[in-house]
Chains A and B, each alone.
Chain A
Amino acid sequence: MGFVVIYIVEDDVSVRDAIARMFESLELSCTAFADGESFLSDASPRIDDTVFVDLHLPGLAGSDLIEKVAALDEAPQIVAISGQPLWKITRDLPKITTTPVVRKPLKEQDLLVYV
């Protein structure tokens, strides 16, 4: 069954690039998207994959994207990333899922535990 892919959905250019470079340097296969819409139209995540979703996205909100991805058959592992205060995160995150949240600023260890 092919290799595992890591997806990143993050609107900030440098954060997106830095995360992608970090995974690449560890020889993990990684694809990055600037918004939820392009992720949904171009990516086909599988059950062993991991999707990192920034909660603060233009257009389709991070929380809505998480809900959509979680609803897929064979949904991948989803991890939310956010720089927002805690009360905003708890307000925005869909209540049904138990998505883990990594808060910015973060270190590579914070992301690596999920892959």
Chain B
Amino acid sequence: MVSSSCLHSVLDTAVNGIIVIDDNGTILIYNRACENMFGYKSAEVVGKNVNTLMPSAIAKQHDQFIRNYLKSGDPKVVGIGREVVGRHKDGTEIPIELSVGEAQTESGHQFIGVLKDLRATKEYEERLRVLQSNLVTMTRVNALDEMGAAIAHEVNQPLTALMLYLQTAARRARAADQPDDPMISLMDKAVVEAERAGQIIQRMRNFVERQAPQCIGTGLATLIDDCLELVRVGHEADDVEFISTFVDYNYQLELDSVQIQQILVNLIRNAGEAVKDQPVKQVVVSVERDDDNVFVKVMDTGPGLDEEAVSHLFKAFTGTKRRGLGIGLAISRSIAQNHGGDLLVEPYEEGKGATFTLRLPVNSKATS
């Protein structure tokens, strides 16, 4: 026979909440985990009806539930377990995973409930979901912006040259001894068309121009942790280790967190891909600082990148993967540069993996 004090210490050591009620719903046992979960002390609730711990809508019906079960033997929760909602002393609702067993004792029918607090899990899932959906949206928007900006910029140069050549040629044609009027008229038309193309480019640029980085103070360590978490989700199957060595959780930096997250997620994801088939599968994110810059390094144990590979790494539109969450290195670099920073890859070293370094300026704000 186990002593009652021993039983109580077992109950109080349990991580899960444990509640025992009689067939009237009166609480007989309420362990320490429950005290943390509901905010009531054991002395406050033992002897009370268990519906004290439920939101009023359910509380009203609970006695009836017990009677129905005792009469029909048809279980709704006993022996099945389900997700239910409890109510904390302060009134907030708590998601709980509840499993219930029953026992016939000398003093009557008793129900034993084991309760797992789902708040942490729910919050965590919700946070990850929000992170992910932000990233997806921002990635789409950014990829479009960057493509627009790239086109505007690339086309701008030849168009500028074209316009000046045409105008110069037209002037020369006019200045000739015997001006060729049909020719001059053609050149004037060409100038008008070049101008039209220029206006399209300008409109496109105006569209992209609203997208200066939105910089706010952000905890760098948390941001890195979030990125690692996002990538880990996709790597549960293979045993890649994702580690951050930066634990200064007080350190704040002015940056556009979603944009920087996109860069880091891409770097960490690329690194995760690179180490997949290696004997050691490790991705380490570390941070170095000097007076003007923060350097976030993503290091892996993959095959590394030789000079040849590095030479076209940052060119636009060269990525291999069809994008889900990902943005390529070209866009990553241009985001870093929009922040007044840069994205670099460390020189190849035989036998070592790749290291990408994201440099971000410390005090100069990217926006004007």
CA distance A14 to B164 in the complex (A): 10
* Residues of chain B with a CB closer than 8 A to A85's CB: 149, 205, 208-209, 212
Main secondary structure of the interface of A (DSSP, over half): helix
A-B contact count (CB 8 A): 77
Residue pair A83, B163 in contact (C-beta under 8 Å)? no
Contact B159 A105 (CB under 8 A): yes
Task: Give, as a whole number of angstroms, the nearest-CB distance from B359 to chain A.
Answer: 16
Nearest neighbor of A95 in chain B, beta-carbon distance: B368
Would you call B352 an interface residue if the criterion is a C-beta within 8 Å of the partner chain's C-beta atoms?
A: no
Q: Is A68 an interface position by the 8 A CB rule?
A: no
Please give the distance in Å from A104's CB to the nearest CB on chain B.
5
For residue A18, CB closer than 8 A to chain B, the reply is yes
- Cross-chain contact B153 with A18 (CB below 8 angstroms): no
Return the CB mask of B174-203 against A: 1 if under 8 Å, else 0: 000000000000000000001101100110
How large, as a class, is the contact surface on chain A?
20 to 34
- Complex partner residue of B153 from A15, A84, A86, CB under 8 angstroms: A84
- Among B153, B162, B195, the residue within 8 A (CB) of A83 is B153
Q: Closest approach, in angstroms, between the C-beta of A2 and any C-beta of chain B?
A: 25
The segment from B92-100, B165-173, B290-298 found at the interface with A is B165-173
- B81: chain A residues at CB < 8 Å are none
State how many angstroms separate the Cβ of A34 from the closest Cβ of chain B: 14
Known: A14-B161, A87-B368. A25 touches B156 (CB 8 A): no
Residues of chain B contacted by A18 (CB below 8 angstroms): 160-165, 168
**Contact residues, B47-75 vs A (CB, 8 A):** none
Nearest B residue to A19, CB-CB: B164
Q: Is A42 an interface residue when CB atoms closer than 8 A count as contact?
A: no
Q: Which of B92-121 contact A (CB under 8 A)?
A: none
Are B167 and A22 interface neighbours, CB within 8 A? yes
Q: Could you say which residues of chain B place their CB within 8 Å of the CB of A19? A: 164
Are B153 and A107 touching (Cβ within 8 A)? no
Q: Which of B161, B165, B209 contacts A86 (CB 8 A)?
A: B209
- Evaluate contact between A21 and B165: CB separation under 8 angstroms: yes
Q: Given A14-B157, A83-B153, are A21 and B164 neighbors across the interface (CB < 8 Å)? A: yes
Chain A residues, CB < 8 A from B195: 107
- Which 10 A-B pairs have CB atoms at the shortest separation, nearest pair first? A105-B198, A18-B164, A14-B161, A18-B161, A83-B156, A87-B212, A90-B368, A85-B209, A105-B159, A108-B167
A sample of 28 cross-chain residue pairs with beta-carbon separation below 8 angstroms, ordered by A number, consists of: A12-B157, A14-B161, A15-B164, A17-B161, A18-B162, A18-B164, A18-B165, A19-B164, A21-B168, A25-B168, A85-B149, A85-B209, A85-B212, A87-B209, A90-B368, A91-B340, A91-B368, A103-B202, A104-B157, A105-B159, A105-B160, A106-B163, A107-B163, A107-B164, A107-B195, A107-B198, A108-B167, A108-B168
